[in-house]
Structure 1
């Protein structure tokens, strides 16, 4: 099965900042071997398929047949030396780890699916009545509400406000035979500073809805983590849709930062030109969702 076309915004916290017993569970997962970052999307997909193919099937990955949690920790790891930092930012100590939080995110996605899908599709996709599925998934969301989810995801495209977090000059393209990865890493202090500034500018220019609301939510999400964490924006499975020429002309991060600067300066023409460029670039990829 092909990898899902999903992009990610992740937080890696110092292992020492986690409380017990999760710290020991994460340490054990690191000893067994962290998830390959090239394969993170496939790992999550595999967890979902295993839950659905179990006998009896599980509603969500990481739980027993009766809905109780059966934690299987997947973790990504990052060395602080791999994270660019500004003058007032620091990261670490290492190792930095990102728990993949599959059960909670799957529950949130299931609630969204139940709200958006038609009855025939829900009936075909679910092993239990829709109301039962919604009740169990909502219970998981409530149980995990006090813990910060370390991964946000977006299908088929990257939410443009996410690019505010990163330094446009720090994009990393990792290539190995048959696979490629595109991402940015940034220190938490730098990420929070950029989001706070962009939110203030957007609020004055656009009001409280749209991109401003996403920036507000992103800023509140970042505040839940250790101040010496790292943040990563990863194109994930979207790179499967991109050619080398697509990556060569991809100036999304530069364009988003230029839009913030132009809004602050009151340059509506620059805002319009940059936004049109972004819309044209990402519309091709987003349109493929409709074709699927």
Structure 2
């Protein structure tokens, strides 16, 4: 089964920044063995499918039929030494931990699905009445009021404002067992600084909607985490759709940063040129989404 065609924006916080008993649960997850970053998408897919194929099916992964929490936490772990930082930024101490937060993320997605999907689709997809599903999912989302999920995801493409967070020159391409992984890592302080600058420029240039709104929401999300955390932009399963020539031609991060600079300089021609390059590159993946 192919890995889900999903890209991720993740936050890794120092384990020491978590309060008990969550800190002990995450430490136990590390001792059992963190999720292999190459397998993160497949792990999420497996946990979700198991929850839906159980008898009776579970509404959300990581819970019993009655809605109570069960199972063990899954985490990704990152060494601070693997995170490029500007001179004024601090990352750590180790280990840096990213809980996959599958139950909370699934609940938030379910609330959105129930609000957008047509009645026949809701009836076909749910194992319980829609109103019951909404109540249970909303209750899980409410539990997150004092915290935030550590992972944002996007199917079939990468939201272009996410590239603002990273240094284009720091892209990492890993290979393992004929598989590739493409990601950027950045210190939280650097990510917040870049988002704040891009948001201010975007608000002045194009207003508060569209990419500017995404930057505002992303900035607010980042503020909810420890200041010595790390942020990772990961192409995830999208690399399955990319050939070697695609990766060589991918200048998305450079183009997004150039657009921000051009907007600040009021250079409309440069903005248009860079945006056209982004549109041309990502249109192939958008077409695959439509075909599926």
Map of 2:268 onto structure 1: 268
**Greater mean deviation of Cα atoms: 113-122 or 25-34:** 113-122
Aligned with 2:76: secondary structure?
strand
Map of 2:82 onto structure 1: 82
Q: Does 1:121 align with 2:121?
A: yes
Map of 2:164 onto structure 1: 164
Structure 1 unaligned regions, length at least 5: none
Offset, 1:72: 2.2
In structure 1, C-alpha distance between the alignment counterparts of 2:58 and 2:177, rounded to whole Å = 35
In structure 2, C-alpha distance between the alignment counterparts of 1:62 and 1:147, rounded to whole Å = 18
Aligned counterparts, 1:1-292, within 5 A: 1-292=1-292
Aligned with 2:145: secondary structure?
coil
Aligned with 2:181: secondary structure?
strand
With normalisation by structure 2, the TM-score equals 0.98
Offset, 1:71: 4.8
In structure 2, C-alpha distance between the alignment counterparts of 1:98 and 1:234, rounded to whole Å = 13
| Pair 204,71 (structure 1): closer, same or farther in 2 beyond 3 Å | farther
Offset, 1:150: 0.4
In structure 1, C-alpha distance between the alignment counterparts of 2:269 and 2:16, rounded to whole Å = 48
1:104-150, CA deviations, whole angstroms, 9 ceiling, x for partnerless residues?
A: 10011112222332332222221111221122111111111211110
1:218-248, CA deviations, whole angstroms, 9 ceiling, x for partnerless residues?
A: 1111111111100000000100111100000
In structure 2, C-alpha distance between the alignment counterparts of 1:247 and 1:135, rounded to whole Å = 43
In structure 2, C-alpha distance between the alignment counterparts of 1:230 and 1:181, rounded to whole Å = 18
Aligned with 2:208: secondary structure?
coil
In structure 2, C-alpha distance between the alignment counterparts of 1:30 and 1:248, rounded to whole Å = 35
1:141-189, CA deviations, whole angstroms, 9 ceiling, x for partnerless residues?
A: 1111211110000000000000000000000000112311000000001
- Give RMSD over aligned pairs: 1.0
Aligned with 1:144: secondary structure?
helix
1:3-43, CA deviations, whole angstroms, 9 ceiling, x for partnerless residues?
A: 21000000000000000001000000001100000000011
1:238-264, CA deviations, whole angstroms, 9 ceiling, x for partnerless residues?
A: 001111000000000000000000000
**Greater mean deviation of Cα atoms: 279-288 or 225-234:** 279-288
In structure 2, C-alpha distance between the alignment counterparts of 1:105 and 1:77, rounded to whole Å = 19
In structure 1, C-alpha distance between the alignment counterparts of 2:72 and 2:196, rounded to whole Å = 35
Aligned with 1:239: secondary structure?
helix
Aligned with 1:66: secondary structure?
coil
Structure 2 unaligned regions, length at least 5: none
Offset, 1:46: 0.8
With normalisation by structure 1, the TM-score equals 0.98
